[in-house]
Amino acid sequence: MAADPSVFILLTNTGTLFTKLIQGYTKAPYNHASISFNWELSELYSFGRKHPSNPLNGGFVKEDIKTGTFSKYPNTTCVLYELQVTAREVEKMERVLQVFIRSRQKYLYNILGVIGIALKEPVEFSNSYFCSQFVAEILERSGIKLWNKLPALVTPDDFRQSDRLRLVYQGKLSEYEPERLGGDEG
């Protein structure tokens, strides 16, 4: 994986019934968070649907912005942020991520954790995460603390509010063209 001194946080809104329910409560424009180690988003990870057509089967997923769940919802809106980090922090994040990848089958989607956010009470189970909890956990286990709260209370909108993140792209996910960013990985 690249030694790029940045990671990327992608926030999305697919417009599904589940996301509309969450949005009805949060009033936030985006309700799903993912993390990538490159601006092309070819290494994009989160907790969400394991199969695009089944919203009830969730867990740890490697996402693809061109296929899978996102392709099923072509009007998905998004915002992409860059977080400047050190090469050592990227190394730590990749190590934490490898634990998730190696044991991907044992992880479940933490639906009760989503309810816990509404109640402002963290609901944590081992091997169970929701999307923004997972991204915050990856960052925190790598020594990056963007907020003074537990990962189980972090929402996708908390990323939008962080002053450490730099806006890279906003619009339809299907129209995101990484080559237009002019990123140079050399």
pLDDT digits (tens, 9 = 90+) for 69-111: 898 889 999 999 999 999 999 999 999 999 999 999 999 999 8
- Cα 36 from Cα 43, distance rounded (Å): 5
Separate counts of helices (H) and strands (E) for the chain: 6, 8
Residue 151 has a pLDDT of 96
Query: Tell me: the pLDDT tens digits for 104-159?
Result: 999 999 989 988 988 889 999 889 999 999 999 999 999 999 999 999 999 999 99
Q: Residue 73, SS3?
A: coil
Q: Which candidate, 38, 28, 40, 53, places its Cα nearest to that of 131?
A: 28
> Residue 111 contacts by C-beta under 8 Å, 6 or more apart in sequence?
58, 130
Residue 56 has a pLDDT of 74
Over 60: is that where the pLDDT of 183 sits?
A: no
Q: Give the dihedral sign, CA 157/166/128/120.
A: negative
- Residue whose pair of structure tokens reads 């140079």 in the numeric block: 184
- Cα 156 from Cα 133, distance rounded (Å): 9
Stretch 17-28: mean pLDDT: 80
pTM of the predicted protein model: 0.91
Cβ(83)–Cβ(7) under 8 Å? yes
